[in-house]
Amino acid sequence: MMSNRDIETMIESLTPEQIKAVLETTTNGNVRKVDTRRKARSIAITDLYFSVAPLPHKTNYEEYRLESEAIRQQCISGVDI
């Protein structure tokens, strides 16, 4: 088994062209990207709900409850996203 010092010595002995060749063979162009579409959709649904939800202090409770539930169901189904 190689020690850290052996590996460091090998790396130090490489020329820039050899380092470039090693990196080209090991990376294969695979770049990791984080997919944020799910989070963006969740944020869009939340923003949609709060942009059209009724204000509880401006309506009676029953009307507020029914309307907010209807808006919530529409947002979950993906309407206007």
CB–CB of 52/80 below 8 Å?
Answer: no
Asked whether the predicted pLDDT for residue 81 surpasses 60, the reply is: no
- Which tokens is 80 given? 């206007």
Contacts of 45 (CB under 8 A, 6+ apart): 75, 76, 78, 81
> What average pLDDT does range 2-6 have in this prediction?
78
Nearest-angstrom CA–CA distance, 50 and 75? 10
The domain locations on the chain are: 37-77
Lowest mean pLDDT among 15-19, 20-24, 33-37: 20-24
Nearest-angstrom CA–CA distance, 53 and 68? 6
pLDDT of residue 39: 92
